[in-house]
Amino acid sequence: MKVLLAFVVNALFNFVIGLIVAKFLGPEEYGRFALALALGLVIQTAVFDWIRLSAIRFYSQRTRDNEPQVRATLDTAFALLAVGLTIVVGAVLMSGVEFGLSHALIGLSMATAVINGLFDYSTGLARARFDDRQYGRLVIVKNALSLALTTGAAFVFQSAKMALLGAIVSIAGSIVAARRALTDAHSEPKRASFDLGRSYLAYALPIITANLLYLLIPFVNRSLVAKYYGFAETGQFSLAFDLGLRAVQAIGSALDVLLFQIAVAAHEKHGLDSAKEQIARNITIVLAIIAPACAGVVLTLPSVEALVVPMQFRGPFGQYLTLMLPGLFALTMINFAINPIFQIQKKTLPLIGAALIGCAGTPLLVALLPRGADASSLAIAQSGAYVAAMVALIGFALASRPRWPGLRDMGAIALSVAAMVGALWPMRSWAPGALTLATQIIVGAGVFGALALSLDIAGLRAPVVAKIRALASRDRGEAEVIGKG
């Protein structure tokens, strides 16, 4: 559970840091910052993400002790790719070719891709070993440094370049702090195996390709916003997507940190059928958290915008985020609920087909939807693309005969979300503010939680009640000790 807490803290800090940076940079400079970060994320996904995915799936405490060639292969592959990427990007920049971003921002994007790729690989290693301490150290140090350096650079220089540099130094500092503990004995480059690397790449390549295609959808849309409406509107569009994505996917990622590793362990110990059963339960849990979260965001958005969104972003933020939320829900379900069906069976090729359908839907929707005074049509097209990809992926999954959540659980989730929406709907007319938001959260969580437990969604009632009783017993025991003292 400590790793889950660390993940939630990381997501919260990312959210807060993103808001602070946007406030200090302003819409236009934040537009450049967001576009450079998006480019870095595309590069990172294309070049390094297969190593992180392979670590999560194939590395463990057992392989650390008995199969050092696994870690040696992953480490060597990362080093070679980092050197190769540096050479290629350097050659492109020295060629004199002009791009939409300055050469300095492109260079910083490349550096961000390398250092953030190494950070994600490091957290993947800690996660695969269930090493809560090192995972927490990586996250805490990175966020502490980023809060000082990234936001500090944005405040002092009001420059996208300096903010990116602050982010790079922050991530590097966290890796240095935890690198020693994450180093494995006997994982020298000479133990690296080309055959192992090739098999890992074959497993991860479809996932990477699909993720890259999903990343290209908002990246292309941001580029179109910059072309048609300027960098200031790109900043408005980007903040809504970035913060919405972080908020919704942080929840899915926090669940995935535990749930997918449990499915992998079930596969190792009890076989594929047991893993399929766990994946079905995981899907139920993810849906039971993501569905009310997305509904809650829509219903609480006026207060959220009034309290945390910088003044110069208000209005467009709420408008764009509302239009993007269906797509964010679909993308989160793809990554953390449906993809694991294919990952656990090591048959990941259909992921590419679904992503291609999503990408094909983007230009079609952009062409069909009328372009207005702002980028609303692009936000709708983006959501439509992700929803189309999710529907396609579910269709592909049917062919593999997976275990699916029971109709009873699906109906219980729908009923609980509907009850929550019904309870919060009258509060839409309340004045936005902290009291309204707190009331909405308490009422919404209370209504959904009470119904979810009473209907025993995913069989969670027994473990939740047992946990509450254990905490209550511990508190009573501590009170008795204090009383006797």
| pLDDT 10s digits, 185-244 | 888 899 999 999 999 999 899 989 998 899 889 988 988 898 888 888 888 998 899 889
Query: Which residues 6+ apart lie within 8 Å of 299 measured at CB?
Result: 421, 424, 425, 427, 428, 440, 444
pLDDT reported for residue 180:
83
Q: Which pLDDT band, with edges at 50, 70 and 90, does 407 fall under? A: very high
pLDDT reported for residue 480:
55
Q: Give how far Cα 328 sits from Cα of 35, 112, 356, Å.
A: 19, 24, 17
| pLDDT 10s digits, 103-141 | 899 999 999 999 999 999 999 898 888 788 888 889 889
Tokens at residue 33, please?
A: 């910052």
Beta carbons of 107 and 93 less than 8 angstroms apart: yes
Amino acid at position 126, single letter: A
| pLDDT 10s digits, 424-448 | 999 988 999 999 999 999 999 999 9
Amino acid at position 220, single letter: V
Question: Using CA atoms, how far apart are residues 280 and 261, in angstroms rounded to an integer?
Answer: 14
| pLDDT 10s digits, 235-289 | 899 889 988 988 888 788 878 877 887 887 888 788 888 888 999 999 999 999 9
Question: Using CA atoms, how far apart are residues 377 and 216, in angstroms rounded to an integer?
Answer: 17
Give the position of tokens 């989160």. Answer: 332
Q: Which pLDDT band, with edges at 50, 70 and 90, does 4 fall under? A: low
Count other C-beta atoms under 10 Å from residue 372's C-beta. 8
pLDDT reported for residue 31:
87
Question: Using CA atoms, how far apart are residues 436 and 198, in angstroms rounded to an integer?
Answer: 54
pLDDT reported for residue 262:
85
Beta carbons of 166 and 109 less than 8 angstroms apart: no
Provide φ and ψ at 359, rounded to 5°.
-65, -40
